[in-house]
Amino acid sequence: MENKLDYSIQAVSRKQKKNRIIFSQKVAPYIFVSPFILSFLIFFLYPSISTIIMSFQEVLPGETKFVGIENYKKLFNPHFYAALRNTTIYTIWTLIILIPLPLILAVILNSRAVPGRNFFRSAYFIPALTSTIVVGIVFRLIFGELESAPANTLLKLLGLPAQQWTMHWGTGMFLMVFLASWKWLGVNILYFLSGLQNIPKELYESAEMDGAGVFRKFFYITLPLLKPVVIYVLTISIFGGFRMYEESFVFWQNQSPGDIGLTLVGYIYKEGFMNNDMGFGSAIGIVLLIIVFVINIIQLKITGAFGKEG
């Protein structure tokens, strides 16, 4: 009996020793970060290398062969130009709308004089919660082709002709940009609001004493102090723009007339999975990667994130 107890105490202390090493301050952080390292190696680094290799290959089921820059040569075609143009213009439009408008709304919602501030914050945020696919279904109805569809009814009230929204490039672009603006408005408002709340009130008070009006306060205090948030929102908006796919998918699936809804990600999907040309799909991916990377560098340079302020 005594022996047995002795033995078990020994076992416990041996276990404790082992635990002390694994759970020690030296080893613990590595165990904590190991999920990221593993996931990075398997689901990021390996696929990144393999997509670079695939972009120089013809990938057929069961066999692959190197074709040099053949896939990249194939990029010079009207579909790719259309995808590049659509994605770029879409991104620019979302930047034009989704930075100034939420910024102004956040400033308004930040002032105590506005009744129902919390209601508006939640109301504007709700679209962000909903799936683009689900929302697109409603948008297809609102922007239906019939003259009695809500959007066309509104146009009629304004004395404008009814539109076949999904049939033309301009109206198609409008649909995608409008859907995105509607969906992300509330999120950007929240980002700006959280930034505004970090600005010390005394700054405004002293500016008021110096006789500064609403506009001067906005341009000389709010904007400069919000710069980090603006940069953050700008960065995520550019990403969002270049990875866009669903906004186009809900209106046209993968077959828009004259490629009016084709995006770069949509083009990767189309070539890689529908046409089974994974090599070409990878080449498109690499180009997209380079575009995003270059824009990032330029943007970081211009906004001075490489400087001391960083």
Q: Which of residues 268-287 bind another protein (CB under 8 A)?
A: 268-269, 272-273, 278, 281-282, 285-286
Q: Which of residues 27-46 bind another protein (CB under 8 A)?
A: 28-30, 32-33, 35-40, 42-44, 46
Site for another protein contains 212 (CB under 8 A): no
| Shortest Å distance, C-beta 102 to another protein | 11
Interface pick for another protein out of 170, 232, 258, 274 (rule CB under 8 A): 232
| Shortest Å distance, C-beta 183 to another protein | 10
Exposed/middle/buried for residue 78 (C-beta within 10 Å: 0-12, 13-18, 19+): exposed
Residue 221: CB atoms within 10 Å: 17
Closer to another protein by Cβ: residue 13 or 122: 122
> Which of helix, strand or coil describes residue 112?
coil
DSSP letter, residue 5 = H
Q: Can you list the pairs that 250-253 forms with residues at least 24 positions away whose Cβ atoms lie under 8 Å?
A: 250/132, 250/133, 250/135, 250/136, 250/137, 250/139, 250/140, 250/179, 251/136, 251/139, 251/140, 251/166, 251/172, 251/175, 251/176, 252/166, 252/172
Concatenating the DSSP letter of every residue in 208-269 gives HHTT--HHHHIIIIIHHHHHHHHHHHHHHHHHHHHT--HHHHHHHTT--GGGTT--HHHHHH
115, 52, 84, 102: which is closest to 281 by C-alpha?
52
Closer to another protein by Cβ: residue 212 or 234: 234
Q: Which stretch in 69-77, 92-100, 169-177, 228-236 sits in contact with another protein by CB under 8 A?
A: 228-236
| Shortest Å distance, C-beta 165 to another protein | 12
DSSP letter, residue 275 = S
Query: What one-letter code names the amino acid at 120?
Result: F
Query: What one-letter code names the amino acid at 249?
Result: F
Closer to another protein by Cβ: residue 36 or 81: 36
Interface pick for another protein out of 8, 10, 13, 24 (rule CB under 8 A): 24
| Shortest Å distance, C-beta 2 to another protein | 27
Q: What are phi and psi of 244, to 5 degrees?
A: -60, 135
Q: Which stretch in 76-84, 91-99, 211-219, 227-235 sits in contact with another protein by CB under 8 A?
A: 227-235
| Shortest Å distance, C-beta 81 to another protein | 19
Alpha-carbon gap, residue 46 to 63, rounded angstroms: 19
Closer to another protein by Cβ: residue 66 or 232: 232
Closer to another protein by Cβ: residue 204 or 245: 245
Give the position of tokens 């033995």: 7
Interface pick for another protein out of 139, 175, 176, 270 (rule CB under 8 A): 139
Interface pick for another protein out of 146, 160, 274, 298 (rule CB under 8 A): 146
Interface map 45-64 toward another protein (x if CB under 8 A): -xxx-xx--x----------
| Shortest Å distance, C-beta 156 to another protein | 13
Residue 126: CB atoms within 10 Å: 10
Q: Which of residues 150-169 bind another protein (CB under 8 A)?
A: 150
Closer to another protein by Cβ: residue 7 or 141: 141
Alpha-carbon gap, residue 113 to 133, rounded angstroms: 37
Interface pick for another protein out of 1, 2, 4, 25 (rule CB under 8 A): 25
Q: Taking CA 136 as the corner, what is the angle to CA 135 and CA 142, rounded to the nearest 5 degrees?
A: 95
Q: Which of residues 75-134 bind another protein (CB under 8 A)?
A: 105, 108-109, 114, 119-134
